[in-house]
Every structure is written in structure tokens, then in C-alpha cells.
């Protein structure tokens, strides 16, 4: 079965960046995403089977946060839910690349419904990303 035959819908997300070369380095080299089509003003990325596009766009204001579990979570943000081993592998890859975390990898909601590993970082254009992992996948939508 190919990705196109997948019974799981895939998302398409386009995000503004102010430097496509910096985006290519971060998403291609640091995060290790395969690059797809591109033009002078945009680049497609394969984000684990989802279509993620970086579009050249002017800078915009940053700084909106919501308090969650004792941390200021940047809004808006996007990311992936990974397996625990993949989460830790990515955290080490980011550390090795000298990435500054907005919120260092830690266990959020420890001992509660929805317990998860999480980390937040910014891409070179200031877009916030969250990567998370659940020990128990049934907790993704737990209340």
C-alpha cells in the first residue's frame, strides 16, 4: 500500500518563513524531512506522509502564549505525535544541532490522563513546533 492508498487522511499545512535557505537547512538537515517540489517562493516537505509547505512570507508578530502544565506554550504551533523512541531520537538530534528549546523535553501531565512527553522549539522563521509522544496511544484524546 502506498501513502496515497492510506485509509488515514493526511493533512496539508502551509507555514510562512522569511528565509527559504534557512527553512531548507532546518527542515531538511536538522529535522531530516525529505524535500518535495519547490519554486522560488515555496518548498514542499514530507512530514511523515503529510504535506507540509514552507512559503516565503514577510515576518509577523510573535509572542502569544497559553499557560499549560506550568509552561508558556507558544500559539500557534504544530507538530507530530511520535513513538517514545522516535521522540527521544529527535530530541537528541535537535540537541546535537544546537537547537534552543522553547520548552525542553519533559513529561507533561505526569500521572494524569493524557500523560505525554513533549518539547517545543522554533524554526528559523519563528514558527513554533511541538513534538510529543504517549506511552499509551489511547491517551491521545483522553479527558
Categorize the per-residue pLDDT at 10 as very low, low, confident or very high, splitting at 50, 70 and 90: confident
What's the structural domain count of the chain? 2
Q: With CA atoms as reference, report the closest residue to 103 among 75, 137, 61.
A: 75
Residues 110-137 have pLDDT tens digits of: 999 999 999 999 999 999 999 999 999 8
| 76, 103: one domain | yes
What 3-state DSSP class applies to 97?
coil
Same domain, 131 and 72: yes
Does 33 map to a domain?
Answer: yes
* pTM for the model: 0.85
| E strands present in 28-100 | 35-39, 42-47, 50-56, 65-68, 71-74, 77-82
Distance CA 44, CA 28 (A): 11
Amino acid at each position: 500500500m502506498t501513502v496515497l492508498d492510506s485509509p488515514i487522511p493526511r493533512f496539508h499545512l502551509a507555514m510562512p518563513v522569511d528565509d527559504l535557505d534557512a527553512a531548507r537547512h532546518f527542515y531538511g538537515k536538522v529535522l531530516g524531512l525529505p524535500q518535495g517540489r519547490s519554486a522560488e517562493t515555496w518548498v514542499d516537505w514530507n512530514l511523515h506522509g503529510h504535506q507540509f509547505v514552507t512559503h516565503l512570507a514577510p515576518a509577523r508578530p510573535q509572542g502569544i502564549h497559553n499557560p499549560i502544565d506550568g509552561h508558556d506554550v507558544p500559539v500557534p504551533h504544530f507538530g507530530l505525535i511520535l513513538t517514545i523512541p522516535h521522540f527521544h531520537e529527535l530530541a537528541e538530534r535537535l540537541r546535537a544541532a544546537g537547537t534552543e528549546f522553547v520548552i525542553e523535553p519533559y513529561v507533561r501531565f505526569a500521572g494524569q490522563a493524557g500523560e505525554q512527553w513533549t518539547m517545543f522549539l522554533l524554526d528559523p522563521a519563528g514558527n513554533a513546533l511541538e513534538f510529543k509522544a504517549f506511552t499509551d496511544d489511547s491517551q491521545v484524546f483522553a479527558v
